[in-house]
Chain A
Amino acid sequence: MTIKEFLVELQDSLQREDELLLEMALRELPEWDSLAMMSIVVLFDKHFGQKLLFSDFEKFKTVKDLVQKAGLL
C-alpha cells in the first residue's frame, strides 16, 4: 500500500469529504471520535496485521504518525 492509498483508506474510514494531509492534527478533525479510533484499529488489523490499542492513540498526534505506524514512511 502506498501512502496515497493509505490516506484514501483513512479518509474513507473517517467518512471525510476532504482529502487528508500528513500534517493534519488528528484531534482537530471534525470526524475524530471513539468510533473513528475503532475504525482505524480495524483498518490497521485488516491491512497491516497490527493490533492497535486505544492507548496507542496518545502517541498519534498527526496523520503522519499513523502513516509511520503503518510502516509507509
Chain B
Amino acid sequence: MICFSKEDIFLVTGASSGIGKEIALRLNSLGASVLANGRNEERLQKTKSMAAHPENFFLEARELTENIQELPLWVKNLKEKYGRLKGLISCAGVIADQPLQVLDESTGKKLFDVNYFAPVFLAKGFADRRVYASENASITFLASISAFLGEKAQTFYGASKAALIASAKTLSHELSPKVRVNCISPGPIDTEMTNRAVEIHGHSNISRCTLGIGNVKDVSALASFLVSHEARWITGQNYILDGGYI
C-alpha cells in the first residue's frame, strides 16, 4: 500500500485540470503535501475544494512559460517556503494539431515552451542539491504516446514529447542516484484536452484502445507508484500507458 506523510512535498504542475489535477488529488489523499501549480488561481481553488487533506494542499499559481529562465529560482523559493521537495510531477502541457501545410513557427515555439522547456527548467530547479529531499526524490514527466506514433498533424506535439523523453533519460543519468527521473506516456485519456481533439477528429482512433479510453485515475495510479518508495529502483524509464492503443 502506497502512503505518504505530510513531510513528503510534491510539486505538481498542470494541477487545475485533467491528469495533473487527478495526480495532485491522489497524492494528497495518500497523505502527501501538494504544491499545486496552474495558470489560474480560481481553477486551482476548485481542485483544492476536492482535496482529501486541504490543509496540506497549497496553491501556487504561475504561468510557467512567462519567464522560463527564472523557473529554477521559483522552485528554489518554493523550497524556502515549504521545505525540501520530494517530487516534481510535470503535467502541464498543450496540444496543437497542425498538418504540415498550415504549420506555424510561433505555435511550434510556444508549444515547445510549455511541453519541453518549462518542464526541463523546473527539473533544473528541483534537482538543485539545496532543493530536493534526501530520501527517494524523483521527477516524473507526463509525455505522450504521440512521441512514437507519428500520427497526422502531430509534428510539433509529438516532437515536444519525444524531446522530453530523451532529456529525461539524460537527466536520469546525470542525477542518479540522488534523483530518479521517469516519464509516463499516456494514450487517449478521457480529459477535456483529449475530448476537444476527439471532437475535431472523430472517435475512430479511440477504438484502437483494446481496453477502452483511459481515465485520469489510470495515470494517477502509475504516477503515485513511480514517486513512492516502491519504485526506488526505477529510473530513466518511459511507461506507455495506453490501454492497448499501440
Contacts and interface: CB of A to CB of B under 8 A. Distances in A.
A35 interface: yes
Contacts of B129: 15-17, 31
Interface string A26-66: 00000100010000000000000000000000000000000
Contacts of A16: 129-130
Interface string B197-227: 0000000000000000000000000000000
B174 A35 contact: yes
Nearest to B131: A15
Interface residues of A, number: 5
B192 interface: no
B128 interface: yes
Contacts of A31: 129
B229 to A, nearest CB: 24
A15 B130 contact: yes
Contacts of A35: 174
Contacts of B130: 15-17
A16 B174 CA distance: 17
A16 B130 CA distance: 7
A35 B127 CA distance: 13
Nearest to B129: A15
Contacts of A17: 129-130
Nearest to B175: A35
A11 B229 CA distance: 31
Interface of B: 128-130, 174
Interface of A: 15-17, 31, 35
